[in-house]
């Protein structure tokens, strides 16, 4: 069994302050929950609709200052750290990237967001992530104890094909750090997460950004979730900065898949 700590935070445009607060929240999680795995939300190092600002805060992986700080934290505290997502330098547009460090501080997974957020929300606001963020291509999983963890980020939640590919690679848990808008979160967040957990008979671990950003002009949903393979919510946040804890049990995954053997019965 694996104990997970999910960190919900309200990142702003100040990268140094965001990183300081993220490290403090992670230290609190270690002190009060002794987790095996800590997960941060999408864009935890910097969150703004200012594309130039986000690009300036991109960093090399490996080699960047935040990358090194996260690796050091994982090593010092003996935890696996799934670092939500942050901007990764590239020759073209920066990637929106999750990086995972093991208990020794070594990188064991790197996932670049595949599905970029190009939408018009119900409140009329338009977003065009593909204009400023490069597209990832690889399906990424990593081992954690007796579990296999699959990687996704935010808008990926709407694409069942990715979750199917992760299940085909053995994923028992899917981690999806997010920064859902308030309007889309209110309408779809919980329904989609529970649906993915049920459909793919996996734990879904979903840390979300919360609160306002861009000097209060924009707002994220919060309500981070941990859902089990039967679709039951086992931990749920409100709209404050907080930490959720839960235990992920391979036996629960196996039991659900044994009762309803979807993968074995699939014909398409």
Active-site residue list: 42, 113, 154
For β-strands 225-227 and 203-206, DSSP reports them as: antiparallel
Q: Is there a cis peptide before residue 62, judged by omega within 30 degrees of 0?
A: yes
CB 153 within 8 A of CB 249: no
What 3-state DSSP class applies to 173?
strand
Dihedral angle of Cα 252, 207, 81, 93, to the nearest 10 degrees: 130
Backbone angles phi, psi at 6, to 5 degrees: -105, 125
The CA distance from 259 to 195, in Å, is 18
Q: How many residues does the chain have?
A: 268
The single-letter DSSP state of residue 79 is -
């Amino acid at each position: 069994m694996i104990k997970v700590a999910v960190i919900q935070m309200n990142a702003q445009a100040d990268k140094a302050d965001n990183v300081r607060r993220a490290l403090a929240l992670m230290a609190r999680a270690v002190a009060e929950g002794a987790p095996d795995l800590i997960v941060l939300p999408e864009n935890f190092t910097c969150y703004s609709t200012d594309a130039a600002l986000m690009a300036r805060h991109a960093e090399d992986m490996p080699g960047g200052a935040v990358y090194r700080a996260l690796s050091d934290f994982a090593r010092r505290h003996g935890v696996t750290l799934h670092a939500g997502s942050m901007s990764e330098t590239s020759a073209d547009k920066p990637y929106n990237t999750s990086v995972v460090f093991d208990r020794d501080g070594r990188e064991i997974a790197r996932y670049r967001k595949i599905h970029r957020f190009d939408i018009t929300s119900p409140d009329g606001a338009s977003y065009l992530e593909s204009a400023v963020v490069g597209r990832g291509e690889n399906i990424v999983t990593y081992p954690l104890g007796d579990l296999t963890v699959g990687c996704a980020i935010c808008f990926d939640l709407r694409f069942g094909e990715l979750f199917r590919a992760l299940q085909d690679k053995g994923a028992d848990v899917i981690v999806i750090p997010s920064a859902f808008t308030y309007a889309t979160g209110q309408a779809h967040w919980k329904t989609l997460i529970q649906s993915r957990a049920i459909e793919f008979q996996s734990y879904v671990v979903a840390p979300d950004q919360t609160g306002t950003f861009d000097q209060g002009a924009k707002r994220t949903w919060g309500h981070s979730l941990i859902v089990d393979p039967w679709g039951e919510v086992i931990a749920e946040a409100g709209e404050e900065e907080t930490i959720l804890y839960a235990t992920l049990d391979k036996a629960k995954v196996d039991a659900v898949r044994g009762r309803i053997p979807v993968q074995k019965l699939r014909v398409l």
